[in-house]
Structure 1
Amino acid sequence: MNFVAMDFETANAKRYSACSLALTVVRNDQIVDEFYSLIKPDTPFFWRNTQIHGIHTADVADAPDFPTLWPHIASLFQRDRLIVAHNASFDIGVLRSSLEHYQLPTPQYLALDTVRTSRQFYPEFSDHKLNTLCAALNIELEHHHNALDDSRACANILLQEAHQFGPERLKSFVKVIA
């Protein structure tokens, strides 16, 4: 399996308020690279979001804004590249909204949601939250809602599903994002 697992955290309810991003790169079924950055949003932090992920305004004071960060990661979002996220509609929405907000071109890429795959493959689980899956599948998740830990956990969930059920069974979950 070759893919990039992605996770965003946001400063508030606005999808373009990304305050951290992590990418976990998988090649030939192995995590080969990871990327993490705080992001300085142009919106204020809402206390509830900070309570969830622990990122404060002061933490991002010297961080790049999204338009500065994007050129460093844009090459990972290519037409034939699979981008994976847990609850992908959120993370894809953050990416899309951030690109639109800053008037950056939107790439076309393939996407897969590990919430959807886990609901199919593990219907017996009480829920399909990231921390629940990690506990049930014995996947390490040190700090839930830390973007890097979450993206790494998402990558490991997909790798375990591919190993347990076969990569062919995952193909029906792949969607084109444009």
Structure 2
Amino acid sequence: MNFTALDFETANHEKHSAVSIALAVVRDNQVVDEFYSLIKPETYFSARNTAIHGITAADVAQAPKFPEIWDMIAPLFTEDKLVVAHNAAFDNGILKGTLDYYDIAEPHYMLLDTVRSSRQLFPDFKNHKLNTVAQNLGITLDHHHNALDDAVAAANILIYEADHFGVESLKRFVKNK
């Protein structure tokens, strides 16, 4: 299975407030590459979000703005590529909102949400939060709400699901964006 797992952390509730992004690239069911960057958003920081992920305005003062990062990662978001996220509505919403904010054309790609797949495949878990699913499947998640750790955990959740249920069974969770 080949795909890219995506995770964002945000400064506030605004859809263009990304402060960090991470990608875990999977080829043949192995994480083969990782990408992480802080992002300097053009918005304010809420105390609530900072308390969740620990990233402050000072931390991103010298970070690139999103368009600089997009130039590097855009090739991973094409019609023939699968993008995976745990709670994909959130991460895809941040990507879309940030692209819209900077007037960058939205790409078309396939999207799979590991929250949705884990709810269907593991209905007995007490909840389907990333840390809960990872723990129940024996997947390492050292720093929840660190975008890179979260992206790698989401990648490993899908790898686990593919190994245990088969790739064909996961196709029903794929949506075109």
Q: Which amino acid aligns with 2:70?
A: W
What is the CA deviation profile of residues 76-107 of structure 1, one whole-angstrom value per residue up to 9, with x for unaligned ones? 10111000000000000000000000000110
Partner Cα separation in structure 2 for residue 70 and residue 153 of structure 1: 22
- Output aligned runs, 1:61-80, within 5 Å: 61-80=61-80
Which residue is 1:10 aligned to? 10
Please give the secondary structure, in 2, of the residue aligned with 1:84.
strand
Secondary structure of the 1:60 match is coil
Report the equivalent of 1:81. 81
Q: Distance in 2 between matches of 1:103 and 1:19?
A: 18
Alpha-carbon separation, structure 2, partners of 1:25 and 1:168: 20
Cα deviation, residue 34, structure 1: 0.3
Rounded Cα–Cα distance in structure 2 between residues aligned with 1:72 and 1:44:
25
In the alignment, the residues of structure 2 paired with residue 46 and residue 23 of structure 1 have an alpha-carbon distance, to the nearest angstrom, of: 24
For residues 137 and 98 of structure 2, the distance between their equivalents in structure 1, rounded to whole angstroms, comes to 33
What CA distance in whole angstroms lies between the structure 2 residues aligned with 1:142 and 1:8? Answer: 17
Deviation per CA, 1:31-65, whole angstroms, max 9, x where unpaired?
11000000000001000000000000000011000
Question: Superposition RMSD on alpha carbons, in Å?
Answer: 0.4
Aligned length: 177
- CA shift, 1:69, in A, is 1.2
The answer for the alignment partner of 1:119 in structure 2 is 119
Moved over 6 A (4+): none
SS of residue matched to 2:112: strand
Supply the distance in 1 between the matched residues of 2:105 and 2:125 (Cα, whole angstroms): 39
* Percent of residue pairs identical: 60
SS at match of 1:59: coil
Matched residues in 2 for 1:67 and 1:32: separation?
Answer: 25
Aligned counterpart, 2:20: 20
Looking at structure 1, the residues matched to 161 and 27 of structure 2 have their Cα atoms a distance apart, in angstroms, of 16
Residue correspondence of structure 1 range 150-165 to structure 2 within 5 A: 150-165=150-165
- Match for residue 99 of structure 1? 99
Deviations 1:141-165 (A, max 9, x none): 0000000000000000000000010
Gaps of 5+ in 1: none
> What SS class does the counterpart of residue 20 from structure 1 fall into?
strand
Which residue of structure 2 lines up, in the alignment, with residue 50 of structure 1? Answer: 50
Q: Which amino acid aligns with 2:56?
A: H
**What 5-or-longer segments of structure 2 have no aligned partner?**
none
For residues 134 and 176 of structure 1, the distance between their equivalents in structure 2, rounded to whole angstroms, comes to 26
Q: Is 1:147 equivalent to 2:147 in the alignment?
A: yes
| Amino acid in structure 1 at the alignment position of 2:74 | A
Tell me what 2:31 maps to.
31
Question: What secondary structure does 2:22 align onto?
Answer: strand
- What letter corresponds to residue 104 of structure 2 in structure 1? L
